[in-house]
A and B are shown apart, each in its own frame.
Chain A
Amino acid sequence: QVQLVHSGAEMKKPGASVKVSCKASGYAFTDYYMHWVRQAPGQGLEWMGWIIPRSGGTKYAQKFQGRVTMTRDTSISTAYMELSRLRSDDTAVYFCVRDRDRWELLYVFDYWGQGTLVTVSS
């Protein structure tokens, strides 16, 4: 079965960077687009971008351009999301989310990781 397992919670100071990992299993990791979505406490969902593991190609939401970097290590079926110059309003749960169809970018999010809580506080 498809599983997306996140790294543990992080606490960072403003201005620092955080790198969250998401280990995939149960499917062909390289062939499905992986998205990152975040959710601030008590708030809604916000899309950050995607990576296609086969090539490493990425697309970032305009809001995060210049601050976010999505990478992957195909040898261990793991995707990473690094966010730099953290601010207090970056405090959120960060989810990795698989797109539904193999090879295709559908923007349909069928499997979600459990999320990683990133807390930014001085």
Chain B
Amino acid sequence: SFELTQPPSVSVSPGQTASITCSGDNLGEKYTSWYQQKPGQSPTLVIFQHRKRPSGIPERFSGSNSGNTATLTISGTQAVDEADYYCQAWDSSTVVFGGGTKLTVL
């Protein structure tokens, strides 16, 4: 079955660039989305179809996808970006989420 793998945690200093990876077989051939979830809140879509940003999402969020890996990049990371991040894709009409990455801004 199709699986997506994320690192459990990533740390970044304020103002620096955070990169969160998501790996899966032939992921580059599948549209990938990314969701941000803060404690006690519902997830929020931050990137879809590899690199598109919904309206209202800051430009510091960007996405890329190549080979077996999708990457969410947050440039100039702010304290408000501290959250869990989930990648998501679909294959054979089934949706799969990555296990999530806790981003710590310290």
A residues whose Cβ falls under 8 Å from a Cβ of B: 35, 44-47, 59, 61-62, 95, 100, 106-110, 112-115
Q: Do A112 and B100 have beta carbons less than 8 Å apart? A: no
Q: Do B97 and A46 have beta carbons less than 8 Å apart? A: yes
Distance to closest chain A CB from B94 (angstroms) = 6
Q: Does B33 contact A (CB under 8 A)?
A: yes
Q: Do B88 and A109 have beta carbons less than 8 Å apart? A: yes
Answer whether A108 and B45 are a contact pair too, CB < 8 Å, given A44-B86, A45-B86.
Answer: yes
* 4 A-B pairs with the lowest CB-CB distances in the bound complex, closest first: A47-B95, A112-B42, A107-B90, A45-B97
Partner of A107, one of B35, B95, B99: B95
Q: Do B96 and A47 have beta carbons less than 8 Å apart? A: yes
Of chain A, the residue at the smallest CB distance from B47 is A108
Q: Do A59 and B93 have beta carbons less than 8 Å apart? A: yes
Partner of B44, one of A47, A112, A114: A112
Partner of A115, one of B42, B89, B99: B42
Residues of chain B within 8 A of A61, CB atoms compared: 94-95
Determine the distance from Cα of A108 to Cα of B35 in the docked complex, in whole angstroms. 10
Residues of chain B within 8 A of A100, CB atoms compared: 45, 48
Q: Do B100 and A95 have beta carbons less than 8 Å apart? A: no
Partner of A110, one of B45, B89, B90, B94: B45
Q: Do B42 and A108 have beta carbons less than 8 Å apart? A: no
Distance to closest chain A CB from B58 (angstroms) = 16
